[in-house]
C-alpha cells in the first residue's frame, strides 16, 4: 500500500496542465460499444478508472489499441453480448453507462448495481424511467439491473431529478432508437456536452446538449471517427483551490474557463485573485482568505465534486463559512480527517459550518473517497508540519499524476510505500 507524505506550508507556484475529463472518458468509452467501426479517442486521462472501464469493454470482444498513454482506439464492430464481471462493475459508478450502451447495441443488458464513492443513497430510478419510456422492460430486483427491449422507440422523457448519469444513459439508449427522443430537465454538465459531441462525431444526431432539453434523433448506424476529450473541470478546480489555499500563484493550463465560472466567483469572494485567459486560468493568493458561503448544485452551479476541496480551503478562511451540499445526501465523511488536522467543522446532514482556525497541523489522515482525498491533500499542503495520507488508490481513480503535478509547482509531496 502506498501513501502520500506532504510537508505543508509551501505556496504553489508555476504552471500545471490539466488532463482529459474523467467523467467524460467513462461515458465515452462505454459509448464506443454503439459504434460499428473504429473510434479514436484522444486526451484520455491516465487514471485507474479508465483501466476498469476498458477491462469491461474488452469482455465484449472489442479490439482496443493504445498508441500512446493518452490515446485509445476502440473497434467494437464485431463485439458479442456478455455480462460483465461484478468485480469490475462494483468498482466504478460509471459502469451504469453499459446499460444504455448494451441496450442500444444488443437490445438487452445485465449489469450488477454499480459501485463508486459512497455519498449515501445513489438511486438510478431516472435511468430506468428513461429506458422504460423507450420501450425496455427493466427488472432491478436482486441487485442486478436486467433490461430487454424488442424495439426502442423515441419518446419524451421528463427527469424528476436533474441527473448527469440518467441524461447520458438515456442519450446512449436513444442514439439508435426509432424516431426522436427528447430529454426534458436534462443535466447540463460539461461532460454531457462532451458526450453528445463524441456521439455526434461517431454518427449520432443529438441536439441541445448543454441545455435542459436534449433531442436525440435515432440513426441506423454509427461508423466511427476521431474525438478529443475536453479538459477535466474538477481537476482544474482542484488545482485552482490548491493555488488559492496555499497563497500561491499558479497558471492552470488547458482548461475551459467558462466551466470554472462558479468556482472562480467563489474564490474571488474568498479573497483570491483569478484571471481568465483563453484556455488557462491564473489563480493568485492575496494574503488573507475570507469566510464564504457555498451551496453545491447541478451545473452551472458550484460542483459537488469540488465541495470537499473548497471546505479544505475554508478551514482557514477568516470567519464562519457555511457549505450546503445540494446534490448528495451524505458527502461530508472527509471532514473527520480535516478535524484531525485541527479544522473546526460541524457537519450534519447536508450542511457543514466551518469556523476558521489560524492554521491546520499535519496529521495521519486517509482519503475517504476520491474528492475527499484531494481535500486532505490540499489541507496537507496548507498545514504546518507533515501530513500522511493513506488509502490513496481512491485518489488515483481520478487524478493523473497528482503528486507529480503538485511537486512541479513546488509542493513537498512524496509517494512512499506504507
- Rounded (to 5) percent helix, strand, coil in the chain: 35, 30, 40
Check binding of 93 to ligand UD1 (CB under 6 A).
yes
Question: Residue 354 Cβ, how far from ligand UD1 at the closest point, in Å?
Answer: 20
Binding mask 321-350 for ligand UD1 (x = CB under 6 A): ------xx----------------------
Neighbouring C-beta atoms of residue 147, cutoff 10 Å: 24
Helix (H, G, I), strand (E, B) or coil at 206: strand
Instruction: For the CB of residue 52, give the shortest distance to ligand UD1 in the complex, in Å.
Output: 11
How many residues bind ligand UD1, per CB under 6 A?
Answer: 20
Range in contact with ligand UD1 (rule: CB under 6 A) among 156-164, 176-184, 313-321, 354-362:
156-164
Q: Is 39 in the active site?
A: no
Query: 319: which 3 cell numbers?
Result: 470567519
- Within positions 232 to 261, which residues make up the interface with ligand UD1, using CB under 6 A? none
- Are 380 and 4 in contact, with CB atoms under 8 Å apart? yes
- The residue within the footprint of ligand UD1, chosen from 32, 95, 246, 304 (CB under 6 A), is 304
Give ∠ CA 237-239-245 in degrees, rounded to 5. 100
Strands 156-158 and 180-184: parallel
Please give the backbone phi and psi of residue 391, each rounded to the nearest 5 degrees, phi first.
Answer: 65, 35
Of residues 7-26, which lie at the interface with ligand UD1 (CB under 6 A)? 23, 26
Residue selected from 8, 94, 248, 342 as contacting ligand UD1 according to rule CB under 6 A? 94
CB 216 within 8 A of CB 181: yes
DSSP character string of 268-336: HHTT-EEEE-SSEEEEE--S--B---EEB-STTSB-GGGHHHHHHHHTTSBSEEEEE-SS-S---TTHH
The one among 8, 20, 165, 380 contacting ligand UD1 by CB under 6 A = 165
- Tell me the window of 157-165, 253-261, 309-317, 409-417 that interacts with ligand UD1 (CB under 6 A): 157-165
Give, as ranges, the residues between 116 and 135 that touch ligand UD1 (CB under 6 A): 122-127
* Residues annotated catalytic, as ranges: 117
Residues at the interface with ligand UD1 (CB under 6 A): 23, 26, 93-94, 122-127, 161, 163-166, 187, 304-305, 327-328
Amino acid at each position: 500500500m502506498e501513501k502520500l507524505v506532504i510537508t505543508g506550508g509551501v505556496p504553489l507556484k508555476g504552471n500545471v496542465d490539466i488532463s482529459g475529463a474523467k467523467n467524460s472518458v467513462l461515458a465515452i468509452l462505454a459509448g464506443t460499444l454503439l459504434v460499428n467501426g473504429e473510434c479514436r479517442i484522444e486526451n484520455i486521462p491516465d487514471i485507474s478508472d479508465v483501466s476498469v472501464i476498458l477491462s469491461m469493454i474488452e469482455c465484449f470482444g472489442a479490439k482496443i489499441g493504445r498508441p500512446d498513454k493518452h490515446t485509445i482506439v476502440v473497434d467494437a464492430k464485431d463485439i458479442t453480448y456478455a455480462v460483465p464481471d461484478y468485480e469490475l462493475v462494483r468498482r466504478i459508478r460509471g459502469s451504469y453507462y453499459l446499460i444504455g450502451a448494451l441496450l442500444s447495441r444488443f437490445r438487452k443488458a445485465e449489469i450488477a448495481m454499480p459501485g463508486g464513492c459512497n455519498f449515501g443513497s445513489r438511486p438510478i430510478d431516472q435511468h430506468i424511467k428513461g429506458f422504460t419510456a423507450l420501450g425496455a422492460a427493466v427488472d432491478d430486483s436482486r441487485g442486478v439491473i436486467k433490461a430487454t427491449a424488442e424495439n426502442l422507440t423515441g419518446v419524451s422523457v421528463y427527469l424528476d431529478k436533474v441527473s448527469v448519469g440518467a441524461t447520458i444513459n438515456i442519450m446512449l439508449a436513444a442514439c439508435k432508437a426509432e424516431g426522436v427522443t427528447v430529454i426534458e430537465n436534462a443535466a447540463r454538465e460539461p461532460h454531457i456536452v462532451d458526450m453528445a459531441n463524441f456521439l455526434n462525431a461517431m454518427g449520432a444526431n443529438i441536439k441541445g446538449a448543454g441545455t435542459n432539453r436534449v433531442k436525440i434523433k435515432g440513426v441506423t448506424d454509427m461508423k466511427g471517427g476521431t474525438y478529443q476529450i475536453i479538459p477535466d473541470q474538477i481537476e482544474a478546480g482542484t488545482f485552482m483551490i490548491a493555488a488559492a489555499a496555499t497563497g500561491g500563484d499558479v497558471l492552470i493550463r488547458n482548461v475551459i474557463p467558462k466551466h470554472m465560472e462558479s468556482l472562480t466567483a467563489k474564490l474571488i469572494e474568498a479573497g483570491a485573485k483569478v484571471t481568465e485567459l483563453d484556455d488557462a486560468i491564473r489563480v493568485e493568493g492575496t494574503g488573507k482568505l475570507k469566510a464564504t458561503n457555498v451551496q453545491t448544485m447541478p451545473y452551472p452551479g458550484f460542483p459537488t465534486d469540488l465541495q470537499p476541496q473548497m471546505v479544505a480551503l475554508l478551514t482557514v478562511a477568516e470567519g464562519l463559512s457555511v457549505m450546503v451540499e445540494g446534490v448528495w445526501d451524505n458527502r461530508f465523511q472527509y471532514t473527520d480527517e480535516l478535524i484531525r488536522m485541527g479544522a473546526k467543522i460541524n457537519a450534519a446532514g447536508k450542511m457543514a459550518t466551518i469556523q476558521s482556525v489560524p492554521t491546520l497541523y499535519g496529521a495521519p489522515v486517509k482519503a475517504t473517497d476520491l474528492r475527499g482525498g484531494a481535500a486532505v491533500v490540499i489541507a496537507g499542503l496548507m498545514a504546518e508540519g507533515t501530513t500522511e495520507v493513506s488509502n490513496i488508490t481512491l485518489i488515483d481513480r481520478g487524478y493523473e499524476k497528482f503528486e507529480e503535478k503538485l511537486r512541479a509547482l513546488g509542493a513537498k509531496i512524496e509517494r512512499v510505500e506504507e
